[in-house]
């Protein structure tokens, strides 16, 4: 099929001379986009009731160099409309209107609203597209502001979460805290220990002294701290760790009272709103008496902790601690 004649505005949008577009093959000037059929005379005649979409290939696109072919001025223009058969002259007529998304595309094509078909919907679609674009820009701005506000809220949430974790870890050991945060019952966190070492200290102990990985602060009463070694993480050298911690604290702060005792106990988490990790048993009571009166419970042998022993005597000392703890 060849083009017999083209409208003035169509030639202007195409960008080339009218003598060049006339008598040219339509496949050189336009490409059929919809419907997806072969662009032949027989197919078009059989589909006269369907709206066609043809892409007008800009004449300037064939003459620009490679660096300018992607510019706005060389872009193709989409034309939409019906194609009717004129039997008197044995020809087809394409009554089309250009399709633009907004006024900017219309201006880039070199057209104005007055050039649009006043009886069709093209002019209204352009105006609606411009209005929708303005609304989309407003919605995008609101969405961006909400995104920034949400990002700020997430940062604050992370900060408060860290503060909450620090507060939780100050009340209960980390392993027990992980257990409760997993949604498990506090009753399932209760543990029975055959032998741990509990130390009562009558002065404030710094975090460095009590959180070396082997000692954990359990409870405070006024200026008295209760510290345990061997719970909730079980370890065989709990007595040695507690004794080393007591010596380190006494060297830094001579004016204090410390009581240590090893034995069995039960560890439990008490309270739902304010959970508290605590130890119960005679071992706790005996260690408390050792701190206040330096006397145990009933007839029992007590010792003064004066310093660390030499490496050669460590095996014998560990055996003694094992006997005292009932660990055979």
Reduced DSSP (H G I as helix, E B as strand, rest coil) percent helix, strand, coil of the chain, to 5? 45, 20, 35
CA distance 258 to 246: 7
CA distance 240 to 105: 82
Would you give the DSSP letter of residue 309?
A: P
- From the candidate CATH numbers 3.30.70.1230, 3.40.50.970, 3.20.20.70, 3.40.50.720, the one assigned to the domain spanning 186-325: 3.30.70.1230
> Residue 117: is its pLDDT beyond 70?
no
Average pLDDT, the chain: 75
Write down the residue that tokens 């702060």 correspond to.
253
Other beta carbons less than 10 A from residue 88's beta carbon:
6
Architecture of domain 8-99: 2-Layer Sandwich (3.30)
Nearest 5°: phi and psi at 210?
-105, -10
> Residue 188: is its pLDDT beyond 80?
no
Backbone angle region of 82, left / alpha / beta, with phi > 0 → left and psi within -120 to 50 → alpha:
beta
Considering the entire predicted model, what is its pTM? 0.44
Task: Express each pLDDT in 137-182 by its tens digit.
Answer: 677 788 888 888 999 999 999 999 888 888 777 777 888 888 777 7
CA distance 328 to 326: 6
3 state SS for 96-156: CEEECCCHHHHHHCCCCHHHCCCCCCHHHHHHHHHHHHHHHHHHHHHHHHHHHHHHHHHHH
pLDDT value at position 126?
A: 54
Q: pLDDT: is 64 or 214 the higher one?
A: 214
Q: Sign of the C-alpha dihedral, residues 281, 286, 291, 292?
A: positive
pLDDT value at position 68?
A: 39
Per-residue pLDDT, averaged over 124-136, amounts to 56
CA distance 209 to 216: 9
CA distance 291 to 288: 5
Contact indicator for 104, 127 with CB cutoff of 8 Å = no
Pair of tokens at residue 307: 């310093």
Q: Which residues contact 87 (CB under 8 A, 6 or more apart)?
A: none
Name the residue ranges covered by the structural domains of the chain: 8-99, 186-325
Task: Express each pLDDT in 72-111 by its tens digit.
Answer: 445 678 888 888 888 888 888 888 777 776 666 767 766 6
Distances (CA, A) of 194 to 205, 212, 267, 323: 26, 23, 11, 13
Per-residue pLDDT, averaged over 315-320, amounts to 57
């Amino acid at each position: 099929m060849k083009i017999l004649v083209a409208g003035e505005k169509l030639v202007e949008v195409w960008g080339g001379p009218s003598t060049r577009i006339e008598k040219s093959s339509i496949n050189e000037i336009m490409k059929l986009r919809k419907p997806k059929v072969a662009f032949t005379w027989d197919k078009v005649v059989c589909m006269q009731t369907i709206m066609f979409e043809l892409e007008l290939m800009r004449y300037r696109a064939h003459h620009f160099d490679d660096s300018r072919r992607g510019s706005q001025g060389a872009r193709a223009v989409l034309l939409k409309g019906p194609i009717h058969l004129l039997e008197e002259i044995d020809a087809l007529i394409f009554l089309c209107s250009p399709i633009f998304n907004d006024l900017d595309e219309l201006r880039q094509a070199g057209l104005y609203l007055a050039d649009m078909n006043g009886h069709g919907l093209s002019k209204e679609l352009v105006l609606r597209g411009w209005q929708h674009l303005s609304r989309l820009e407003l919605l995008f701005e609101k969405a961006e502001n909400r995104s920034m506000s949400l990002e700020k809220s997430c940062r604050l949430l992370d900060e408060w979460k860290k503060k909450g974790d620090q507060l939780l870890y100050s009340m209960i050991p980390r392993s027990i805290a992980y257990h409760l945060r997993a949604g498990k019952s506090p009753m399932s966190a209760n543990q029975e220990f055959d032998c741990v070492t509990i130390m009562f200290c009558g002065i404030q102990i710094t975090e460095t002294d009590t959180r070396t990985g082997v000692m954990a602060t359990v409870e405070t009463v006024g200026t008295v701290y209760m510290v345990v070694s061997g719970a909730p993480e079980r370890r065989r050298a709990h007595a040695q760790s507690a004794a080393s911690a007591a010596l380190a604290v006494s060297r830094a702060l001579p004016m204090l009272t410390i009581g240590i005792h090893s034995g069995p106990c039960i560890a439990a988490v008490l309270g739902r709103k304010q959970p508290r990790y605590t130890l119960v048993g005679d071992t706790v009571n005996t260690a408390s008496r050792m701190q206040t009166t330096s006397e145990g419970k009933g007839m029992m042998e007590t010792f003064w902790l004066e310093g660390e022993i030499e490496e050669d005597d460590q095996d014998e000392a560990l055996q003694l601690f094992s006997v005292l703890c009932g660990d055979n």
